[in-house]
Amino acid sequence: MHLDMHADGRWGDKNELVDQKNTICVHAFSDLSHISPPMFIYLLKECYLCGTRKATQKFNILQQHVFQALYNSPQPGPCTFIVQCLYILPLLGLQYSEGFGHLLMCSLKRLKNRKAVLEDFTEAKLLAAQLFVDILASYVNHEERILIKVLELFEVRLKDIGQAMFGSAERHDDLEKTKAYIERHIFDLIESHSYMTATILVEHFSVHLGESFLMKMMENKQFKAAEKWALFMGKPMICLLVQKYLEMKMLKNAYDVIKSNNLKEEFPEVQRLYKESSLKKLAEKGLWDIAELRAMKDRQLLEFVVYLAMEAGYSEKVFELRDRYSLEGFDKLTVSDKSSVGDCYLDPEKLMIDDILWVDESNGLLGATNYIEGCKVVGIDCEWKPNYEKGSKPNKVSIMQIASENRAYIFDLIKLHCDVPKELDNCFRRILCSPNILKLGYNLQCDLHQLSQSYGDLGCFRYYEMLLDVQKMFNEPGGGLSGLAEKVLGAGLNKTRRNSNWEQRPLSQNQMEYAALDAAVLVHIFHCIYNQPHSAGKAVRSKVEWKSHIVSCMGNAKR
């Protein structure tokens, strides 16, 4: 009876007639006693070609069948059978030989401790040693990863190579010739830049190479291979590796090697240099809270964060850290230092924002809603506490800012949702669903997604009318909202507070101003473009074109 492998890996009857080459006898995978390696490889390929699943799924299914076949003790033995198959595989071409080679050896590895495998292993090892030699000499065309896998799976040693090459491994001269043969091919691998393969062979056969090998790997940026080899060589070479990393200004690599090999006494300053470098990168991204968290156990690092905040013109953070940790010597941040940084950015005074109002209870919510309903155009933005744990979900949206040209309301969404969810839903429906208020945002899709994720039980965040993403009014969206403000209004926004803790209560004055500006600046940009369409340059789209971007629904939202 002929059976065909289905897409899901099952074997079953097939009613219709099919071409013989796409059909395989189940006997071939249940008993290999009368199946030769060439026939088995042919059937394996045909079986693979029959499948309709993705390659990875097909390989997993085939591996299970191969494992079962090897379990049933092929002749002369499973280990020898696999080596013979590996000799034949390259005839299929590289597109099959590597994948099938891994498949066969992984299947054998699962059976390694069975009696039938152990009995066949000694004889197969000699054949595997010969295969290793033939692959090195390019008589058998296998990838280097197969070469290494043969070496490891069959535990091929120098004496096995010598026996395969000279028929004996007892004489000292034969072992020396064998070692010289291996070394010659290692140098060939180095010349062809196959450093990891060369490193594995160096370790496996205990071949001695000097510092020049390390230098060559470092010069060619083969850092994983260099670390593997240095670890094999011992502490002096590891220290040399660290020194080379420091010369190349690769602090993280140096620090990781020092930490994993307990070399802090040998390189006492590297840890601090690395941590300062990490803190500087966090500061450049505006991640001040996490920079503080990483530095808080070390007073010297805390002072370094303060200096970074001073350089960024973030005086609020300077004073905050100084007071929280009783740091001395930071009480003379002059007015001129502070104002010289501030001159580069917009602030509430420059935009003539008269009021920034905090809303966290029902009366304030109602008053804010009544005011906003009387506006023709408002800007909208949201803030939430950054989440610094990789792969974790974003935090709930903390505040929402809605601003006119000269007034900004900051809504405490967390408290309002907890205390007066129905009032919050009703008021925001009046604003967000109103066809009489043009609501401006920047990269709106992100904010709306976060709102729906944070407050999915509220209907007000599922339907919108009259939304316009200001980012889409420009042909060149690069630079963010700050860059857009600078292009249109002549000054950007200070984004140092962007990643601050938006769940702390009360918010600082600087946080309040930052939040208000992010919403109000949208209205000023809009009016500047609307009233003077040529003042912002060629990057601005025409009125007719940007009006087409006003939308009344986002995503799959329903009213």
The contacts of residue 389 (CB under 8 Å, 6+ apart) are: none
Distance CA 546, CA 471 (A): 10
CATH architecture type of domain 355-547? 2-Layer Sandwich (3.30)
pLDDT reading at 477 higher than 60: no
**Domain parsing of the chain, residue ranges:** 4-156, 209-268, 288-342, 355-547
Structure tokens given for 82: 């696999």
pLDDT reading at 537 higher than 50: no
Cis ω on the peptide bond leading into residue 506 (within 30° of 0)?
Answer: yes
Distance CA 362, CA 208 (A): 78
pLDDT tens column, 212-225:
999 999 999 999 99
Q: What is the total residue count of the chain?
A: 559
Q: pTM, whole model, 2 decimals?
A: 0.59
Bridge partners of 438, per DSSP, are: 377
pLDDT tens column, 481-494:
888 888 888 888 87
Contact 382, 447 (CB under 8 A): yes
pLDDT reading at 350 higher than 90: no
pLDDT for 13 equals 42
Distance CA 195, CA 211 (A): 14
pLDDT tens column, 65-120:
788 777 776 777 888 989 999 999 999 888 888 889 998 998 888 887 777 677 78
Residue 476 CA: distances (Å) to CA of 2, 408, 462, 481, 531: 63, 28, 29, 12, 21
Structure tokens given for 302: 């805390």
